[in-house]
Amino acid sequence: MLIRRKHTYLRMATAALSLAACFTATSLSTAYALDEHNVFTDVPRTHWAWINGTLPWAAQAHILETQKETVLQPAQIITEQEFLGMMMRLYPNTKNEIGSGTTEDIYRLARQYNLPVATDKPEQRTAELTRLQVAHLLAAAGGKHYDDAGAIAYMYEHGITKGADGESTIAGYGGDKKVSRVEAIQFLKMAHDKGIASIMHTMPAIAVSNPSTSRFISSSQEVVTANLQKAQTAAYTRYTQIQDRSTFAYWTRQLYETARKMGISADGTLRLPLPAISGNKTLIYHVAADRWYYGEIKGEEPNIPKHLDFPKHEDWSVLLIVKEGDRIVGDMYYDTASESIEINNVIIQKHVKK
């Protein structure tokens, strides 16, 4: 049986109903007939947002302030305050709690639901909103407290966007890009259509990792290099007993190259190359397939093998740990199910077939 979950030590790769928000004419303070000429009059009816139904939906959902719904200014960059107001008017529970919809009403609710916005910094409320902030806000409203990559992955896994460059990758999301008013409405419409805007949840105080992040890691060399740096820093931060950063830099690179060289033959056997060790270094390996393989190789042993071979199997999970004395200086994880290389708990490269 293939073991795909990471053990605490091993770290091996470890029907809620969605109710779409429903807006009817009776629930709106003002009902709009979509052929009226006083709705978003500054946007030509040939604009993509009319054609794909975004603006008709916005008019019916009534997510903009009433006095501003005759014009949209679609290309204008939206502010945090404006986007937050749209969100509060979209989610049914906050729509019922927004009161008169003043700025203070909006940020009172943001504070109540622990949303990641400038509740205590009024000067930042009119700052231009970025795509990354949108990801964090929608994830938070879904009851998730993720880091940047996790929030972006949330957008992809729920089908809200495909990324600024059309590719569903963390790097391709374009988190620093500003969001126009019409793009903001499109994000909210997709959240509504995908069924994640049926209720606003409170964002937890403690951040967790999004398990879907690894599905959207780019494998470009630029990203790999950046991830290797993160892995080096992660090891240095975790194992502070060793002050020499070069030790972690060396083993981060060695373990990555080991993972890249690892191969599965046509008949399904696995060859695990071993990095060179000597002295007080120790290699610890765990290999999971139909059974669990485990062993230690010490640098002081004679005739240290250059590789290990394991019997044929369909899927593999491999963990390789390097110790210097009694201290871990790096670890590498790879499994054929996720096709991802992970060093020091940092995903380095995705879709690396063996």
Dump pLDDT digits (tens) for 232-262.
998 888 766 666 788 899 999 999 999 999 9
Q: Measure the CA–CA gap between 123 and 135, rounded to whole angstroms.
A: 22
Mean pLDDT, residues 211-215: 85
SS (H, E, C) the chain: CCCCCCCCCCCCCCCCCCCCCCCCHHHCCCCCCCCCCCCCCCCCCCCHHHHCCHHHHHHHHCCCCHHHCCCCCCCCECEHHHHHHHHHHHCHHHHCCCCCCCHHHHHHHHHHCCCCCCCCCHHHCCCECEHHHHHHHHHHHCCCCCCHHHHHHHHHHCCCCCCCCCCCCCHHHCCCCECEHHHHHHHHHHHHHCCCCCCCCCCCCCCCCCCCHHHHCCCCHHHHHHHHHHHHHHHHHHCCCCCCHHHHHHHHHHHHHHHHHCEECCCCCEEEECCCCCCCEEEEEEEECCCEEEEEEECCCCCCCCEEEECCCCCCEEEEEEEECCEEEEEEEEECCCCEEEECCEEEEECCCC
- The full length of the chain comes to 354
pLDDT of residue 349: 84
Q: Average pLDDT, whole number, for the chain?
A: 83
Distances (CA, A) of 60 to 46, 134, 179, 183: 19, 22, 22, 17
pLDDT at 62: 87
CA-angle at 88, arms to 82 and 89, nearest 5°: 90
Summarize pLDDT for 76-131 with one digit per residue, the tens: 999 999 999 999 999 999 999 998 889 999 999 999 999 999 878 888 899 999 99
**For 221-350, CATH number?**
2.60.40.10
Domain boundaries, the chain: 25-216, 221-350
pTM: 0.57
Q: What confidence tens digit (pLDDT) does each residue in 316-353 have?
A: 899 999 999 989 999 999 988 777 899 999 988 876 66
Asked if 277 and 258 count as a contact pair (C-beta separation under 8 A), the reply is: no
What lies within 8 Å, CB to CB, of 32 at 6+ separation is: 39, 59, 60, 62, 69
**215 band by pLDDT with thresholds 50, 70 and 90:** confident
> What is the pLDDT confidence band of residue 139, given thresholds at 50, 70 and 90?
very high
